[in-house]
Amino acid sequence: MFMNTSIKLSLDTRRMTQNGCFPIILRLTHFRKTTSIKTGHYVPEEYWDHHRCKVKRNFPDVDSVHLMNTLLLKKQVNAQEVINKLADNDQLDRLTAKDIANKIVNRKRFNSFYEFGLKKAEELKKEKRIGTSRNYSGIICRLKGFTNNRDLKFNELNIEFLKRFERHHLSKPGNSVNGIASYMRTIKAIYNKGIKEGMVDESLYPFKYYTIKTKPTEKRAIKIESIMKILEMNTEIGSKHFHYRNYFVLSYLMLGMSFIDMAFLKRENIIDGRVKFQRRKTGKRYDIIITNQIEPIIDYYLNNPNPSGFLLPIIYRDTLELQYKDAQWELRRYNIGLKEIAKKCRIEERLTSYVSRHSFATHAMFKKVPLEAISAMLGHNKLSTTQIYLKSLPSNILDNYQLELNSL
């Protein structure tokens, strides 16, 4: 500690947030001039120990008060180390309190998370990765709503902020744990890019302490008998149910092709009895044989061309952004149509656009196709992703496996 310079943790009781909390700050005093440095942590005044300068043990809003106090103390120690270094270099007395504060925080920690995230979203859009771009801009929009449009700096996006955002999301009717998990994965992806590009110090990484929670989703695969009902369904040629049945069947028969990949198929992707395309999500190239079951469907659309040049009647507009909007709107109508098809075919299982993909993966496994091959067919980069598709097996299948093993 230096005679004219001190730094300590304090609660800034002048600035109460909407939920009744106050910011915890580092209060820097230098030659009787005082300034504050945000720590990014907030507590109600009744949970702050003014004498010990720490959060009280009964503070309920974090999993570990000890961890929170450790992080705060680490910030204070780091700040003191900067002051010590400035003193060793005979710079301390020549600086103002503001100058020292700037040295302590290291300005790169105060870069805007919002600005960086939106910049990355624009870059992704230029790379034609529209889905990921929309995820990035979407989470920034949600975070802005949460912070009432107040800018969010990288150093403020800490474990407590994540937990407050999680509680806020889950307090809204209809929101789910898996929904917030999706948002958190996007925040994590942007933050990781920020570290990589030197926008924020790795020591501030909040996901070291925050765990993204998920709940197992319901089984999406349907029985092969239900697939056959859809295949054999009679519909009026050119009707909406005719197209929706075709989308479902094509997805199932073409290695679980995703709806967005089907939407962007063009006539020129049909080459010498094969469908050759690049997956939108991963960029992986596919080369799929057109089997006898697939051929009549492909032929129908080749003989009844979409004026936009796309194979299926999903996308009609010319700019990439509008094309994604066309696909999203048709996806909504498609999912509604699948419910109608399920009713018409007397299928009790829930039918959605994901079901064809999950059913393909599950039925491939039933036919003893190796997991690695199924993973390659689905275009997954990790086997663990494929295992998620296959983890909920019907009990009769497990019984058969057990009987087979017990007979050895």
Spatial CA neighbour of 82 closest among 45, 58, 61, 107: 107
Residue ranges of the alpha helices (H) in 89-176? 97-105, 113-126, 130-146, 159-170
Residues 6+ apart with CB under 8 A from 174: none
Express each pLDDT in 194-243 by its tens digit. 988 878 888 889 998 898 888 866 657 888 999 999 999 999 999 999 99
Gap between the Cα atoms of 184 and 178, Å rounded: 10
Residues of the chain with pLDDT under 50: 107-109, 408
The per-residue pLDDT for 391 is 63
- Residues paired with residue 26 on neighbouring β-strands, in sequence order: 9, 37
Q: How far is CA 152 from the centre of its chain?
A: 19
Express each pLDDT in 150-202 by its tens digit. 999 998 999 999 999 999 999 999 889 989 999 999 999 999 999 888 788 88
Q: How far is CA 293 from the centre of its chain?
A: 36
3-state SS assignment for residue 271: strand
3-state SS assignment for residue 64: coil
The two three-digit tokens of residue 44, written as one number: 């109600």
